Amino acid sequence: MSSNLIKYSVLALIYATLGFITLSSCSSDDEATTTTAEDDDDDSIIVNVDASNFTTASVTITTVPCTLSDGTVTECYQIVTNSTPSDHEMGPWCPENISNGTDAGGIWLESGEVYDVDGPFIENLATFYNDPTWLMYDANGDVYITETEEDCINAANPNVGSEYENYCVECIPAYIASLSQTWTIPITPVYQNTATYFATAPGGQVNVPSTRGIALNGIEYSAPAPVNVILSAYTLAPFDDAGGHINVHQGYHYHAATGYSTKIAQADGHAALIGYALDGYGIYELEDTSGNIPTNLDDLRGHTDDTRGYHYHVDEAGNNNFINGLRGAYVQ
């Protein structure tokens, strides 16, 4: 080692994404419905958020009134989770020794690629980054790893001290045992002719959500991890194999979709549903069952078909990204 660890105002984005998920009972009108959009500029199919798609272990979902970013007054799902996934284990993140194999650590995302954070990766950091300052282990090959919650918090301080240089930063589930997270998303997506681009996207906007969406296990899809900020402090904050790590304020959260979380297969072979964006549109895996990647995505990473209406496809895991913005109105 996601919520939804270095230099907290920015890092909250990385450690910025808990889930014993208890799905509350929903009335019959909470079930997914499909309707035709009435907007003359968009005649696509609109598919409601289906509460039954979320895992039933630790997510609580209720229906609440809400007002969206375009002024629409409607109904939303309020989704509460303790940010711990119920469908896969969290960690490991940092290997303990440079002799450890791939099962002892997580992953790192760099320049579009996914790397195993095993012992040899830690040993090779100086070569990997072409910088001899990197030396994250002692004479016995033992990796320097943050050991306490205080260390976890201090490593996320904007003015992180030099004492944390060359540490593998690892926040563990025990630090977030009492934390809960709440998200509110429209049940029926409201299409916008003008998209909202996240601040991290080219031409992106400020004062928009940093959270991209919610996985079907209740875990946050977070903004891209500020990798450059992490590396500038000569620290490493790996993600586990599921693409997540922990921040004590944000909980466990994802920075990449690697196929570990709950998914809903599509009868037509389309990529599986894995979550919902904050505007209520579905988020799907990148590849369909034949391994094909869609070629007609817009600059938000979305497109429309006659079954799912407008929906998104996640970016490749190595790109430290999910989607680039929101096509629909959202709760501010």
Are 81 and 255 contacting, i.e. CB atoms less than 8 angstroms apart? no
Query: What sections of the chain are H helices per DSSP?
Result: 8-11, 119-123, 125-128, 149-155, 227-232
Torsion 212-67-10-244 (CA) sign = negative
Q: pLDDT digits over 161-204, tens only?
A: 889 999 999 999 999 999 999 999 999 999 999 999 998 777 78
Are 268 and 305 contacting, i.e. CB atoms less than 8 angstroms apart? no
Query: What sections of 100-155 are H helices per DSSP?
Result: 119-123, 125-128, 149-155
Among all chains, which residue has been given the structure tokens 């869609």?
Answer: 294
For residue 301, give every residue at least 6 positions away whose Cβ sits within 8 Å of its Cβ, in sequence order, or none: 312, 313, 314, 315, 322, 323, 324
Give, for all 332 residues of the chain, the pLDDT tens digit: 433 333 333 333 333 333 333 333 333 333 344 433 333 344 579 999 999 999 988 899 999 999 999 999 999 999 999 889 999 999 999 999 999 999 999 999 999 999 999 999 999 999 999 999 999 999 999 999 999 999 998 887 767 788 999 999 999 999 999 999 999 999 999 999 999 999 877 778 877 888 999 999 999 999 999 888 889 889 999 999 999 999 998 999 999 999 999 999 999 999 999 999 999 999 999 999 999 999 999 999 999 999 999 999 999 999 999 999 999 999 99
Pairing of strands 181-186, 273-277: unpaired
In this prediction, residue 2 carries a pLDDT of: 36
Query: Domain residues of the chain, as ranges?
Result: 8-15+88-177+227-242, 28-87+179-222+259-328
In this prediction, residue 4 carries a pLDDT of: 35
Q: What are phi and psi of 195, to 5 degrees?
A: -80, 160
Residue 246, beta-bridge partner list: 252
Residue 305, beta-bridge partner list: 309
Write the DSSP symbol of residue 108: E
Pairing of strands 167-168, 235-236: parallel
In this prediction, residue 269 carries a pLDDT of: 98
In this prediction, residue 158 carries a pLDDT of: 65
Write b or e for each residue in 137-149: b if 16 or more Cβ atoms lie within 10 A of its Cβ, otherwise e. Answer: beeeeebbbbeee
In this prediction, residue 323 carries a pLDDT of: 98
Q: What span, in angstroms and rounded, lies between the C-alpha atoms of 307 and 236?
A: 42
In this prediction, residue 200 carries a pLDDT of: 76
For the record, the structure tokens of 79 come out as 């989704």
Among 173, 214, 208, which residue's Cα sits nearest to residue 194?
208
- 0.95 exceeded by pTM: no
In this prediction, residue 14 carries a pLDDT of: 36
